[in-house]
Structure 1
């Protein structure tokens, strides 16, 4: 049996032991490319029943850790579980939409292919609508013995024997559709307790589908917002200078993206949202292409540093975006905040570009453990010390010690160090004493449009 079935079976045992509020965890292996596992936390309440010897159980809350695809898998588990438990040939979840009943999830015997996922029929000709509005009972041991069911041709054509169906309702009262089980043969053994089991599963599925619906709505809003940024070019590039301390000279710029569309938020938030809806590569490459517009105007001794995520590196379009530009004057920065699942692929993808002179930097070193993994695995040309490490370094011995360790590592491995986020003379002096020669920060220059740009 599936994890969902075991969860509810365990809940019944705990209810008999006297527990009234139960919290269960259902874990499943992940789909390919997703996180290793995902889990669903289920909170149930049991109440003593006056009619039966077994407690009545209801779903209080469902907390899903997973993608919409993973939610679909859990719903499929629930269908499979309840169909097996009740001994039915078919179980399905239908959605009511625009006058149609659409079969969203189906679990059936191998030799039963009448109902397929995505198929639909008129809602007003279905059992489902009649169960919701009360014209048909939710439990029929033999639909052929129910006059209202016999009025529908499908009852004798299929035929329909045992049939259980309950509405799937969201918290606001909306009916999503129905959770239904049926067989072509009658089953006189079905009881109200079986119907109660179906209602429990339907309640569980309702909370899953409501979460999925809300998440889909949220993703659509995000997608429209990011698409508006891309289509309307509601972004601009600003450049923060990078200086050599000895001698005091401008050696580079870091290109940073600023967004002008509401709602106002940090650039990181825009890029994170783009990643959520699969527009991360398009947005990053748009920003990179816009930033590259100044390369021809840069002094020949000045390089341009571009931020890029591992996903964009792996998707393959980065090389074409950089094509035609002097790679020996460009540097890519991979942030600490971006996770990398396959360092070998990232390194192999970048290798031809690095052989042509492109430099690689690991950004935000010192901000977290991931940056050190990036450094060890990618062997960057430049290590950028994070603001969190630089801020107050002149007054904090621990920060100074950690920075010194990274600097010694860079010296031993042939990497250069750039300190970012330098805001005070004290921080600058501390970095001089640590033999850091390249710095950037508000003390030296704020991000701004390139001279001559609007």
Structure 2
């Protein structure tokens, strides 16, 4: 160290040494600035920046060396070999470029930076000793190997440290420290190397003819220093501009990234960016779906956030560039599974391929789809399968039965007297009853049997049987028994009880049908037979039942044709004063003389007309015919026409009746409309509005079949009827039942108190007429008074004392 110190202080010009140090420091700063810029440059520009940095680094090393050489005072006349001097600068520049390229190479890291700096240090030594070899003087060169090794070690170690420090961080502080270390490497190597050389004068040593004088060397050093300063100035300007551009680009990217982040967080879909399944980024919606923070998601594998059973399937999609909609189950932090829909495609992030996946929570959509699917296949009132779902299940059961050789039974269940409950207590009570019936049927059958509601009061059960007849009979008996118990009805503050009962029709596979539709139709035929045989029973299907169904269909077809061809006619039955037997009017009764069957009873075709929807046109035809016929009768003779509850459900029934009166010219006060309680039960307010409209027009309103219903007294309170008609069931038993006579007496007393006229129907004997006269009944009607007859036959009854009165009235 003392030898080096003596070399610096005793053998060099101090001012030139300061100049050498200044050149070295400035060159080191410019060099590392350009190296840092080269490290951050794009691939296409990196070569130019490396060339500039190599020129600055090599030039700075060369200029420092030869300024120091100019400062060296040897006492001898010296010169410099031109070729070796030129070679030294080439070595400095090219070698520095190689070291810089290694230091900033792709993936170099700290080790690469240190290796590149070490190369620059070694190149500094090579340039130094090449420059020393260029020194020509009348002296011999003696070298100390120890100092040579020390100089090379100093250059390599400090060069490595300078490059590592500069490239580790890009701050000015790091660059300044790197420049100081690089100055230490260059100056330390130079002066230690100078100490290793001793010049021994030798008059016989003569300079080469190609030697360069120190003055020219000074010019070359000045040129190189100027080049370094120029590179530094240009590099500084470019560095500042590029820094500004980078700053603006960074700000733009940050702004763009912030906008993208805001947009991603504003979406309702979860968004996740991953590379090979490893999560790179997520938005807020995705973290909310998973119930985790971004830090708990980023960096982890996607498979950790899906249901265990779907992890293999998710792994298959990692390598697909894009995929359509994929249904996945996300695993929430609380352990619940979230049914979701994912779709994604490839993107590039940070210059590397990645994938973005959008994930939507579809739980609500799934619930809606399930509700729609359930509504499409189930009855909304009871929740039971509907006809469509029943047929599907029946088809599968029949297929299995064919394969296994089993029997299948279809039970068609119909509630008895349900319509009465619906009419008397309203649809709300009827709905409650149907729900109770469904629950009872479910409790009666096995869990794996299918129970469905076909509509109205009809249910169906599908069951696989081991012993067809015995098992089917046992289940049918249990069903009839279960539905025979009274039902609770939601009718007012106090629940009411209604005993309905049920009938069951049974069809068996394979003997009664080969498919579900056929079995269901045959079970329906058996149900009709059970109802017609007295209700509260069950019947197995028989082939003869098809004939009855076909007969009913033919009758409906013939009734429709009769309406179109005006083949129905109206007969009239007289109504007379009970005491004087004076003719008061007639009741219009529809009759059907079938071309093949003869007279069809009204009890057979009227219900058929109500069920098939023909009661509307039939009722209008009867009313129009009766009014047209009665318009020719003497004044004061009233015509009474029955109105079906089904017909009365028409919203414009009152307007239709009044239109027929205007059309026929029949006075409203001579028309009497007979209604039953069923007219008022379905929609009481609407029915009362229609009745009031008719009454205000002058039409008389009679309550038919009084005493057979449930709520007659409440209707008397709400509407002022003009007449009550005592049902024939009371009249027929008055002679033998004191209780019935008491009921008739009570009805007559009530009507008298309310100032309502009473007509007794079904009077067939003189004793019945006598009793009614004793009880002060107002009017009577029945076979004793006169049978229903065609218009031309009402002059010739001749079957009662009323005949003379009738003929006199008709002939007036």
Normalising by structure 1, what TM-score?
A: 0.56
Could you report, residue by residue, the CA deviation over 1:145-188 in whole angstroms, capped at 9, with x for unpaired residues?
Answer: xxxxxxxxxxxxxxxxxxxxxxxx886444469xxxxxxxxxxx
Alignment of 1:36-435 (within 5 A): 36=431, 38=434, 39=437, 41=441, 66-67=455-456, 172-175=512-515, 221=554, 223-261=556-594, 265-315=600-650, 316-317=652-653, 318-319=656-657, 320-323=659-662, 324-335=665-676, 340-369=681-710, 371-372=712-713, 374-435=715-776
CA contact (8 A) 2:610 2:646 kept: no
CA-CA distance at 1:24 after TM superposition: 11
Query: What is the DSSP-based 3-state SS (H/G/I as helix, E as strand, rest coil) of the residue aligned with 1:357?
Result: coil
CA contact (8 A) 2:628 2:666 kept: no
CA-CA distance at 1:313 after TM superposition: 2.8
> Partner of 2:421 in structure 1?
none
Query: What is the DSSP-based 3-state SS (H/G/I as helix, E as strand, rest coil) of the residue aligned with 1:283?
Result: helix
CA contact (8 A) 2:725 2:759 kept: yes
Query: For this pair of structures, how many residues does the alignment match?
Result: 308
CA-CA distance at 1:449 after TM superposition: 1.4
CA-CA distance at 1:305 after TM superposition: 0.4
Q: Which moved more, 1:365-374 or 1:311-320?
A: 365-374
| Structure 2 Cα separation of the partners of residues 25 and 453 of structure 1 | 48
Q: Which moved more, 1:375-384 or 1:363-372?
A: 363-372
| Structure 1 Cα separation of the partners of residues 621 and 579 of structure 2 | 35
Query: What is the DSSP-based 3-state SS (H/G/I as helix, E as strand, rest coil) of the residue aligned with 1:369?
Result: coil
> Partner of 1:80 in structure 2?
none
| Structure 2 Cα separation of the partners of residues 26 and 235 of structure 1 | 35
CA-CA distance at 1:64 after TM superposition: 5.6
CA-CA distance at 1:252 after TM superposition: 0.7
| Structure 2 Cα separation of the partners of residues 274 and 350 of structure 1 | 23
Q: Which has the higher contact order (CA 8 A, sep 6+)?
A: 1
| Structure 1 Cα separation of the partners of residues 445 and 748 of structure 2 | 57
Could you report, residue by residue, the CA deviation over 1:63-103 in whole angstroms, capped at 9, with x for unpaired residues?
Answer: 967349x87xx99xxxxxxxxxxxxxxxxxxxxxxxxxxxx
Q: Which structure carries more strand by proportion?
A: 1
| Structure with larger Rg | 2
CA-CA distance at 1:265 after TM superposition: 4.0
> Partner of 1:161 in structure 2?
none
| Structure 1 Cα separation of the partners of residues 682 and 790 of structure 2 | 35
- Would the alpha carbon gap of residues 374 and 334 (structure 1) be closer, same or farther in structure 2, given more than 3 Å must change? farther
CA-CA distance at 1:299 after TM superposition: 1.2
Normalising by structure 2, what TM-score?
A: 0.33
CA contact (8 A) 1:367 1:389 kept: no
Query: What is the DSSP-based 3-state SS (H/G/I as helix, E as strand, rest coil) of the residue aligned with 1:430?
Result: helix
Query: What is the DSSP-based 3-state SS (H/G/I as helix, E as strand, rest coil) of the residue aligned with 2:647?
Result: helix
| Structure 1 Cα separation of the partners of residues 770 and 741 of structure 2 | 12
- Structure 1's unaligned 5+ residue stretches are 9-20, 47-54, 76-168, 178-205
| Structure 2 Cα separation of the partners of residues 371 and 444 of structure 1 | 27
> Partner of 1:447 in structure 2?
788
Aligned-pair Cα RMSD in Å: 4.7
CA-CA distance at 1:281 after TM superposition: 1.0
> Partner of 2:506 in structure 1?
none
Could you report, residue by residue, the CA deviation over 1:181-238 in whole angstroms, capped at 9, with x for unpaired residues?
Answer: xxxxxxxxxxxxxxxxxxxxxxxxx855776799998785564233122113232111
CA contact (8 A) 2:572 2:790 kept: yes
Could you report, residue by residue, the CA deviation over 1:81-127 in whole angstroms, capped at 9, with x for unpaired residues?
Answer: xxxxxxxxxxxxxxxxxxxxxxxxxxxxxxxxxxxxxxxxxxxxxxx
- Would the alpha carbon gap of residues 209 and 445 (structure 1) be closer, same or farther in structure 2, given more than 3 Å must change? closer
> Partner of 2:420 in structure 1?
none
Query: What is the DSSP-based 3-state SS (H/G/I as helix, E as strand, rest coil) of the residue aligned with 1:394?
Result: coil
CA contact (8 A) 1:363 1:386 kept: yes
CA contact (8 A) 2:701 2:723 kept: yes
Q: Which moved more, 1:416-425 or 1:32-41?
A: 32-41
- Would the alpha carbon gap of residues 450 and 395 (structure 1) be closer, same or farther in structure 2, given more than 3 Å must change? same
| Structure 2 Cα separation of the partners of residues 26 and 431 of structure 1 | 44
Q: Which structure carries more helix by proportion?
A: 2
Query: What is the DSSP-based 3-state SS (H/G/I as helix, E as strand, rest coil) of the residue aligned with 2:785?
Result: coil
CA contact (8 A) 1:310 1:346 kept: no
Query: What is the DSSP-based 3-state SS (H/G/I as helix, E as strand, rest coil) of the residue aligned with 2:690?
Result: helix
CA-CA distance at 1:240 after TM superposition: 0.8
CA contact (8 A) 2:588 2:626 kept: yes
> Partner of 2:299 in structure 1?
none
Query: What is the DSSP-based 3-state SS (H/G/I as helix, E as strand, rest coil) of the residue aligned with 1:418?
Result: strand
CA contact (8 A) 2:572 2:587 kept: yes
- Would the alpha carbon gap of residues 213 and 357 (structure 1) be closer, same or farther in structure 2, given more than 3 Å must change? same
CA contact (8 A) 1:313 1:350 kept: no
